Each structure stands twice: as structure tokens, then as C-alpha cells.
């Protein structure tokens, strides 16, 4: 596997069996640092006994102000996460006219704490919404040429979310999804960065057949995207890239 994915592999191994919040946070930040990440915020609304679970290493003064002022109700980032099925850059969300001046004010105040831009991975499921946000100041991370690096941050965030979800006990009693050999195979090639067309060429299948198997696997894994399906499958030990 390409060296770019070494931090992802390392985080997967390190988070295995970890239930302590400080250990999870330290592991995530250590490996995400390779991509310019030093601050993060995580929200999980899917666990009944803790329906508003928050973890963050933002400055305490900012986190306290954000919660006390109920900025989540006007902040473009959680509002966009609630509607978007895909990761997004904060400044792109802020540029949407529907979020207005109050959201601009939240960003202006966050800048006082050196939090200016970043990347958010929303995770939608039948149980609710989880949001992983990371602050990134390096504008090069958002250039088209850095797409692979953003994808790596996406995977790191997904592994972190699944580790948090396990620790919270969400779905711990659920049996493992049963994937067919072909579903595992197409997910494995997806994990290696292959497109549906490329997988079709490798396996000598029609592209629509590949898409069919990927979508079946995604549904069985309760994932909202192919990338999430890959992370879930790897985390559960169903595939080994």
C-alpha cells in the first residue's frame, strides 16, 4: 500500500481494543498530525445513554463559549453536516448564503482561538448523526492536488469515529454483517483506491455489476458512502487491505 496510507493503517491497529477517551484522542491526533491536524471536535448523537456525546481538544474557553451561546444552532459546520452526505471544507459551507451573518460571527470568534478553517466528515445512520471536524490551517490541503491527503484524513476520521462508537457501546451486541465473497472482493479493491470501472476491468465484470456489489455491501454495513463502507469492513475484520 502507498506510504500515504501508513498513518491510516497505524491508527487502525492502535485503536483496536482502545476504550479510553484520552488514548483515542492521542492516537488520532498523533497520526492526523501528518496532515496538518492539531485540533478536532467530535459529536455522536447515536448512543441512547449519551445522546449528545462530545469530545474535543479545542481551547476550553472557546468550547465553553460555543456551548453556552448555543452556537451549534447557527454554525454553518454542523448545519451543513446535517444535510451533507459527504465531507466538506468549512469555508465552503460558510459561503452558502442560507447560513447568514450569525454563522460568519461564529467563525470570526473562532479565529480568535486560531481556528479558521477545516474539514468535516459527517456520518449519517438510522440511529442519528455523528460529526468529526478537524481544524486545518494549511491552504495547500484544500488544493485539487491534495485530494489523496484529504481522503486520508477522511479515513482517519472514520476510524476514530468507529472507535468512539465502540467505546460508547453503540451496536456492540449486533452480529457481524454477512458479506458475500464478491462483496468482500470489490470492497477490497475499493480500499486500494480503484474506481468501479477499474475494478470491473480487473475482475472481468460489467461496471454495473461491480456497483451492484459495492452498494449491497454498503447497505449491509450501514454505511452512507463507499469510503465509510471500507472503513467499517476493515474495522470489523471483514477485509484486510
List domains and CATH numbers for the chain: 3-168 (3.30.450.80), 181-235 (1.10.10.10)
Distance CA 90, CA 117 (A): 6
* CB contact at 8 A, 8 and 31: yes
Grid cell, residue 159, equals 476510524
CA dihedral 228, 2, 241, 28 (to 10 degrees): -50
CA count, 13 A, side-chain hemisphere, 24: 25
Query: Tens-of-pLDDT digits for all 241 residues of the chain?
Result: 344 447 877 888 888 767 788 999 999 999 999 899 989 999 998 887 778 889 999 999 999 999 999 999 999 999 999 999 889 999 999 999 999 899 999 999 999 999 999 999 998 877 788 999 999 988 889 988 888 889 889 989 998 998 888 888 744 445 667 899 999 999 989 988 899 999 999 999 999 999 999 999 988 888 878 888 888 887 777 887 6
Please state, in angstroms and rounded to a whole number, the distance separating the CA atoms of residues 118 and 96. 16
Tens digit of pLDDT for each residue in 105-117?
Answer: 999 999 999 999 9
Half-sphere exposure of 67 (CA within 13 A, CB side): 13
| Measured distance CA(212)–CA(235) in Å, rounded | 22
Q: What is the pTM of this model?
A: 0.75
CB 152 within 8 A of CB 7: yes
Q: Which three-class secondary structure state does DSSP give residue 46?
A: coil
How far is 16 from 186, CA to CA, in rounded Å? 24
Amino acid at each position: 500500500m502507498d506510504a500515504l496510507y501508513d498513518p491510516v493503517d497505524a491508527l487502525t491497529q492502535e485503536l483496536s481494543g482502545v476504550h479510553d477517551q484520552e488514548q483515542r484522542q492521542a492516537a488520532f491526533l498523533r497520526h492526523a498530525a501528518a496532515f496538518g491536524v492539531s485540533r478536532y471536535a467530535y459529536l455522536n448523537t447515536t448512543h441512547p445513554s449519551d445522546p449528545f456525546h462530545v469530545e474535543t481538544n479545542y481551547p476550553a474557553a472557546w468550547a465553553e463559549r460555543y456551548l453556552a451561546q448555543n452556537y451549534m444552532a447557527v454554525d454553518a459546520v454542523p448545519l451543513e453536516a446535517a444535510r451533507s452526505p459527504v465531507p466538506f471544507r468549512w469555508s465552503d459551507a460558510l459561503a452558502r448564503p442560507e447560513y447568514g451573518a450569525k454563522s460568519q460571527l461564529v467563525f470570526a470568534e473562532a479565529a480568535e482561538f486560531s481556528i479558521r478553517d477545516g474539514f468535516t466528515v459527517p456520518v449519517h445512520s438510522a440511529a442519528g448523526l455523528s460529526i468529526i471536524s478537524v481544524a486545518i490551517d494549511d491552504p495547500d490541503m484544500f488544493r485539487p492536488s491534495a485530494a489523496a491527503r484529504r481522503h486520508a484524513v477522511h479515513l482517519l476520521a472514520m476510524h476514530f469515529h468507529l472507535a468512539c462508537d465502540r467505546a460508547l457501546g453503540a451496536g456492540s451486541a449486533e452480529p457481524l454483517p454477512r458479506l458475500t465473497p464478491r462483496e468482500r472482493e470489490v470492497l477490497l479493491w475499493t480500499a486500494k483506491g480503484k474506481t468501479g470501472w477499474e475494478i470491473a476491468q480487473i475482475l472481468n465484470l460489467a461496471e454495473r455489476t461491480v456497483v451492484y456489489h459495492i452498494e449491497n455491501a454498503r447497505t449491509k454495513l450501514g454505511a452512507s458512502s463507499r469510503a465509510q463502507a471500507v472503513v467499517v469492513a476493515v474495522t470489523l475484520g471483514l477485509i484486510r487491505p
